[in-house]
Chain A
């Protein structure tokens, strides 16, 4: 592989790829700046649009939405005290007070710069570590692959806000839904009820659009969130904040490391990363009393951490095929839509595409930095859009987008069904992301589970003993899975995720 991995992808960047990458960044900024719309929703409803694009153009557009939306949550957090995306909750604490002091431009500048630096740091770690992890993962046996997938689901269930048990239920429901269709080994129909539409399984893009697009809009409609009437602060002199970076290097670097590590944990995501980084900053700061009153290091910690998550989440996605958060779970759907399977084999079969992803993500961070510095005030104007019109447009996009994937009205029905299911799940405080992860990892888990059973020839205990004595990776993975299942029994409260959900609930009530 060598250094080629960092250069060979350049040849894939033609005019159309660059155009769709820029379009993705702009769409991401729009999605992120509007409270109620999240990166997860944006990516899920726009996946079908990429159907006719080349895999590189499609992935660049979706990654553009992902990274830019993660940053743009800070725009409304600064200007109207409402985080545009959940991951901008901690930014609100310092960016809004700073804006109230007449320094909205400074706050936007700091958030933009910290986000871009956090993002770039995460791309660097992605490029450095994902090939190494992939080379180890290539040696995994079927039992180990099964354990990796099971660990992915269990950790996502554990990290999701609320009860771990509900997270596990959601994940296992996803695994069960993934069994619908012809059995991959014997071609026997399973749960198809004689329907030809179900013989190839449940279309996961329809499920994702339903769970994250329609249900999210239904929840927004229920809250009756109408655009803001609040006057926006003037965004001026944002470039002057660049001079402050000298004093914030330590904070940005530390928080970026936190972001990358948390991003790599399936299900953790930007919200938790920004909370952890902010708490860490408060502990290490020389003036902890200033945090929450418009401190620049508060903004830098929260923003660099939540954007550094993108590279962390992509590391496990590219090297193991296990997504780090809900958005990367949806990105797997986009990979599959274009005939690609993320995981260690991607580095062997689509070496140039992996390289293009590294290069593209670096450019995306630079692009949103430029758009943010020059255009944040224009994206902020979107807050005045009437919500009724916006929600209607998104719902229509969900219907047409789902139809477009296979020209199938059956898929539209599936999407609507999962829209209602997702809405009910939210009302019952059952996380939706583990269901999508289960649906995506289901085939991988079943294939490896049955392959292992087949290879064991009935001598399961002997084969297990051999595997554990010869291979330490199996032991580590088993400990990880078992401890994730048992951890909730020994912990009264999931501190960080509980704090995050409480804070989000408080902010939502404020709206």
Chain B
């Protein structure tokens, strides 16, 4: 199946789900303009139509699905690892605050992206300090303090 057919079906599915989800909204039948479901339902219907149109476009064009080349697959894997590391980083700063997880993140991710351990070690401390100074001291924006230290 080509990309557009799948995408069309996904969009159609989102439209159906959005329409179905809006049926439970608290309605005031007195006036149409006060119905909180009216506008999302219209959008959901439009998305369903667009989804079907995209799927039909995909059927007409009949593009064959290609296997991604090996280099691209490795790139996708690398991006996936970075996303997982980001999730870990977010959990880390929530629990332990900004400094410790940031030091680990600034050391680990460059290595994951192909930098040498020496480079990663040399940049992790200055990068963490630079971000802390920029946010907390220069722009007076709060950085996470860590749930376990509160």
Contacts and interface: CB of A to CB of B under 8 A. Distances in A.
Contact of B53 (A165, A185, A450): A165
Interface in B69-113: 72, 75-76, 78-79, 82-83, 86-87, 89-90, 93-94, 98, 102, 105-106, 109-111, 113
Most buried by B among A218, A391, A413, A458: A218
A392 B110 contact: yes
Interface string B14-33: 10001001100111100111
Contacts of B98: 400
A386 B76 CA distance: 20
Main secondary structure of the interface of B (DSSP, over half): helix
A396 B43 contact: no
Interface string A206-236: 0000000010011101111010000000000
A49 B53 CA distance: 42
Given A224-B78, A392-B106, A165 B115 contact: no
Contacts of B47: 169, 172-173, 176
A389 B130 CA distance: 13
B28 A175 contact: no
Given A49-B135, A190-B22, A393-B127, A179 B142 contact: no
B140 interface: yes
Given A48-B141, A172-B43, A393-B127, A386 B115 contact: yes
> What 4 A-B pairs have minimum CB-CB distances, sorted nearest first?
A222-B75, A454-B33, A388-B113, A183-B36
A158 interface: no
Contact of B82 (A49, A53, A221, A428): A221
Contacts of B72: 222
Most buried by A among B33, B50, B57, B105: B33
Interface residues of B, number: 66
A27 to B, nearest CB: 11
20 contacts: A163-B54, A166-B7, A168-B50, A169-B54, A172-B46, A172-B50, A173-B14, A176-B44, A185-B34, A190-B22, A218-B82, A221-B75, A388-B114, A391-B109, A393-B131, A395-B109, A400-B102, A416-B87, A428-B7, A429-B3
A419 B53 CA distance: 27
A189 B26 CA distance: 8
Nearest to B141: A404
B110 A388 contact: yes
Contact of B131 (A190, A221, A396): A396
Interface of A: 48-53, 163, 165-166, 168-169, 172-173, 175-176, 179, 183, 185-186, 188-191, 214, 217-219, 221-224, 226, 386-389, 391-393, 395-397, 399-401, 403-404, 407, 409, 412-413, 416, 419-420, 423, 428-430, 446, 449-451, 453-454, 458
A222 B79 contact: yes
Contact of B93 (A176, A185, A222, A399): A399
Given A49-B134, A188-B25, A453 B115 contact: no
Contacts of A175: 43
Contact of A428 (B3, B37, B114, B135): B3
A430 B50 CA distance: 13
A224 B75 contact: yes
Given A176-B47, A221-B82, A412-B90, A404 B135 contact: yes
A423 B51 CA distance: 20
Main secondary structure of the interface of A (DSSP, over half): helix
A395 to B, nearest CB: 6
Contact of A392 (B22, B53, B113, B142): B113
Contacts of B14: 173, 176
Nearest to B73: A222
B75 A183 contact: no
A52 B102 contact: no
B139 A53 contact: yes
B142 A395 contact: no
Given A52-B139, A389-B110, A185 B54 contact: no
A391 B51 CA distance: 35
A406 to B, nearest CB: 10
B13 interface: no
B59 interface: no
Contacts of A409: 90, 94, 144
Given A165-B54, A172-B47, A399-B89, A407 B115 contact: no
Given A49-B139, A173-B47, A396-B127, 8 more contacts: A169-B47, A175-B43, A186-B36, A191-B18, A386-B115, A387-B113, A388-B119, A400-B144
B133 interface: no
A157 to B, nearest CB: 10
Contacts of A419: 83, 86
Given A176-B47, A396-B127, A386 B87 contact: no
